[in-house]
Chain A
Amino acid sequence: GQSLEQPSEVTAVEGAIVQINCTYQTSGFYGLSWYQQHDGGAPTFLSYNALDGLEETGRFSSFLSRSDSYGYLLLQELQMKDSASYFCAVNYGNTPLVFGKGTRLSVIA
């Protein structure tokens, strides 16, 4: 089946930079997206990559390498409010998003 791999937990210091990696299965791949979810809330869209390279949106950037079936989310100037779960999700053609298991980010002072 289609599966995505991402670390289960990451801890980083306020003001630092953190990278969350995601690997996916290639067959039928259209694009990789990232979602943020705070406890008790719904996922909110952060970014999307369909082509190789880096997409920057403020403090958050996302990278994709199609040849490596790999992408990452980069969070800069970490703030306490960034503590949340981050999910990579893959778009396999005209199908619903397939989500990774999520990475729980804890930002500490």
Chain B
Amino acid sequence: LAKTTQPISMDSYEGQEVNITCSHNNIATNDYITWYQQFPSQGPRFIIQGYKTKVTNEVASLFIPADRKSSTLSLPRVSLSDTAVYYCLVAYGQNFVFGPGTRLSVLP
């Protein structure tokens, strides 16, 4: 059974680096891992996507080990506005499976 798991919640302080890990044991060889951010009353918003090794964009980095059974979203120097729920998304066959979401609270 395809399953994607994440920590339910995390706390951090402004200016710190935050790492959120997603486990996806049954990922297929050609599937990408994608991360989304969601604020209350809004749809999820794309953060970053990767297939293997490391990907970096202007807002985050994504680390994927060689076995691809997990991935880690890294948010550098978080601010209060990064308080949100973060989801990883993996496609298993024809079914797109979101993780349960990690509620990140950034404290001043």
* Bound pair (A, B): no
Interface residues of B, Cβ cutoff 8 Å to A: none
